[in-house]
Structure 1
Amino acid sequence: MNLKRLEGRIAVVTGASRGIGRAIALRLAAEGALVAVHYRTRRDAAAETVSAIEAAGGTAFAIGAELDSLEGVDRLLQVLDEELIRRTGINHFDILVNNAGIGTSPSFEETSEEDFDRLFAVNVKAPFFLVQQSIGRLRDGGRIINISSGVTRIAYPHIMTYNLTKGALNTFTLHLAQLLGPRGITVNAVMPGIIDTDVNASWLHTPNGRKSAVEMSALGRVGEPSDIADIVAFTASPDGRWITGQMIDATGGSHL
């Protein structure tokens, strides 16, 4: 049995300096992929992710870019091109994981135009243009995995704008799967529920907060970043070749 299902593949993971993105980068590297670890401002955290991958026998490098505009996308791809050409002689890659995003939003009543535009810039515009500008770099038979959210099937009006951005990402996933299918490229969205990351730590690590989160799940526990990373690794691997255009619920059965 080949435990290195992604040997020879190159993966780009946005927002990979911490949390779910870091777990995904570690998991794909463990499968044999060369991983580009994107970060926005947490250079040291991204370096730690790269170091952890290398300590485990994998290969990775970090790329810093602010992903809220086409300029930021261009910056990421410029550095990616340079690094891949230096390492492999070509600027092609196989797996794109759109994980970077803003995880919270003001209440519906308090959301300003600036809040709204910022959320859509990071959570929707950046993935849209990153895919658009990467089409020529993504090899046939490749994978695109968008990290969405379980809030797209569960009503949480108090974070409505965030929910809307993830709904847009799901629609984007569906259309991309149809568009890129002839090239053998699969496109799926993974929809996490409540995951134990530092983004959720302020309330999840309180007795009442954790209790309420556990009670939401049919499996009776809070999700871990590795739970999501394992799903991403499957869809990125040859084993996931016949799954495309799907919104994969990864909430642990929340609110069934």
Structure 2
Amino acid sequence: MAVRPTDLRRLVQRGLRSVSSRALEAFALVFEPHRATPADLLVRRAVATSIDRVTLSTVLLQRQAEPAAALLPSWLSGYAPMFQSTPASASSRTAIAALPLDERRLTLRVDAADPVAQAIAERVAVDAREAGITIKVQAPVGLAPRPDVRLVRVAFDATTPDRVLAAIMAALGSRATALATTEPAPAIGAPLDTVYRVERALVERDIIVPIVHLPVLYGLGERVESWNGPAVSPIGAWNLANVWLRSASLPDKPDRPDRPDRPDRPDRQ
């Protein structure tokens, strides 16, 4: 069964095991047009640099996530470590404190049906408060006031960097990507340096702010076993040829003799 990273501790307490794929989902903040202006760059950057991605990944998401400063995970692009979020300087914190209160307040919209997104949003709000930014998390089920920023969750297939970045850009929407950069999505077969250039342009003005990458996570019942390889492949698919179901009546480590006991019999003449 598919499980949420935030539920992993309860899964373990029930005696179940977990298996996961490589990182195949990305969470990112996307600022709305009215907060994507050059005048709001200071606020956006303060939010982006305030997020403690390591703690979010290891504590809230129970070591089932990877901190992300890039949209593509490192296993796919290889260049993700080149995207680093530097901590805010003392001068930038002073500049934030000098802004009017209205400019330091943001409404963050999340999917009301996504508990993981809501948990991440609440953590982002806590971190932003330390930087002088007040974030109100909004999870509407109907009409609601216009948000300033959205938390988006994008799943992608394990293909190639050019295809995945193009798919992520399509999922984010043309309005968001056009606000971030004039660069078009990479063409199919585009070289890696082109993919890097487009991705760098997407995130450099903090209109799109990557937060974490997540794998596909499954919980296994106590009777589910695998042969020599993992039950789930790196691309998130079940490796059914490698999975078997132990009989409910079969103990974990059967202690049976190699042959049934037989009464002693004299040797035949």
TM-score (norm 2): 0.27
Larger radius of gyration: 2
Instruction: Report which structure shows greater RCO (CA 8 Å, sep ≥6).
Output: 2
| The structure with more helix, counted as a fraction of residues | 1
